[in-house]
Amino acid sequence: MELYAINTGNLKLDGGAMFGVVPKVMWNKLYPADENNQCNWSMRCLLAVDGDRKILIDCGIGNKQDEKFFANLYLNGDDNLHTSLAKAGYTTDDITDVVLTHLHFDHCGGAVQNKADKSGYDLTFKNATYWIGKAHWELANKPNAREKASFLKENFVPLMEAGKVKFIEVDTTLFPGFKVKIFNGHTVGQVIPHIEYKGRTVVYMADLMPASVHIPLAYIISYDTQPLVSLSEKESFLNEALANDYILFFEHDIYNECCDLQQTEKGIRPKNYFDLAVL
């Protein structure tokens, strides 16, 4: 198994929304906001290559939406999905499987692209199977009012229409050395991959903990639909991760790609920060 970080660019989100009840005077020292209270966040995907199987976890925001939509997100950075795949030595046609942690637009928008003549949509990864949590799929197609704006049906309905979707219903092993577990605090049915890599377990954190600054239990983002469930899930996961020396791989942390954990007087905290490439 080989793993490659696939950077697809950055976006800005309101700092208050990303840190919930934690006061700005505390979080701003750790993850600074700009003059508009916006913090910059990566959209870092992960490619797992195991022989002929090439598995991409999440795929960024894509480029289908209009200028007004993107203007609110302040997209920035020099990376995109295609150039990052090329740096790893692959193209979108090489991808055999796409695991979508959930269907919020910044995680799945890159799965579908506009046709050249803008007459409809094509699948970005035409040779891939798309793996999605079943409960989450049902939510995305009949969303609650709070999450509705995060689910853009052009990002995922074409996947089903093409017959390319397979559902994940329970914690399971999808491929050798590649397990998935379901978490419900951020959104119902979020899928979190656990990958065996060089004698360690690498966990793709998605929005279970978007960045290393979200490791303290109180740091729960306001986008989480069930914050008390998030609290319980985080505590259980962190204890498991510490006990098993997991590597946490962060999708949205623009400063730190990975960390491992240590027990401190204040609770479980990051121990070492590093990139996967150094392993």
Nearest by Cα to 53 from 96, 106, 105: 96
Cα-to-chain-centroid distance, residue 226: 18
CA-nearest of 146, 66, 130 to 95 is 130
Contact 133, 211 (CB under 8 A): no
DSSP-derived secondary structure for 56-112: EE-----S-S-HHHHHTTT-B-S--HHHHHHHHT--GGG--EEE-S--SHHHHGGGE
Strands 165-168 and 97-99: unpaired
Q: How far apart are CA 148 and CA 142, in angstroms?
A: 8
C-alpha gyration radius of the chain: 18
pLDDT 10s digit of each residue in the chain, 279 long? 999 999 999 999 999 999 999 999 999 999 999 999 999 999 999 999 999 999 999 999 999 998 999 999 999 999 999 999 999 999 999 999 999 999 999 999 999 999 888 788 999 999 999 999 999 999 999 999 999 999 999 999 999 999 999 999 999 999 999 999 999 999 999 999 999 999 999 999 999 999 999 999 999 999 999 999 999 999 999 999 999 999 999 999 999 999 999 999 999 999 999 999 999
Distance in angstroms (rounded) separating the CA atoms of residues 217 and 230: 9
d(CA 103, CA 229) in angstroms, rounded, equals 19
Sign of CA dihedral 7, 37, 28, 219: negative
Spatial CB neighbours of 91, under 8 Å, sequence gap ≥ 6: 82, 85
How many residues does the structure list for the chain? 279
Token couple for 170: 């329970």
Residue 229 burial class via C-beta count within 10 angstroms: exposed 0-12, middle 13-18, buried 19 and up: middle
Q: Where are the beta strands (DSSP E) in the chain?
A: 2-14, 38-50, 53-57, 97-99, 112-114, 121-123, 129-133, 165-168, 172-175, 178-183, 190-197, 200-204, 247-249, 258-264, 267-274
Q: Does domain 2-278 have CATH number 3.60.15.10?
A: yes
* Cα distance between residue 159 and residue 33, in whole Å: 36
Q: What is the pLDDT of residue 10?
A: 98
**Which residue ranges make up each domain of the chain?**
2-278
Confidence at residue 119, expressed as pLDDT on a 0 to 100 scale: 80
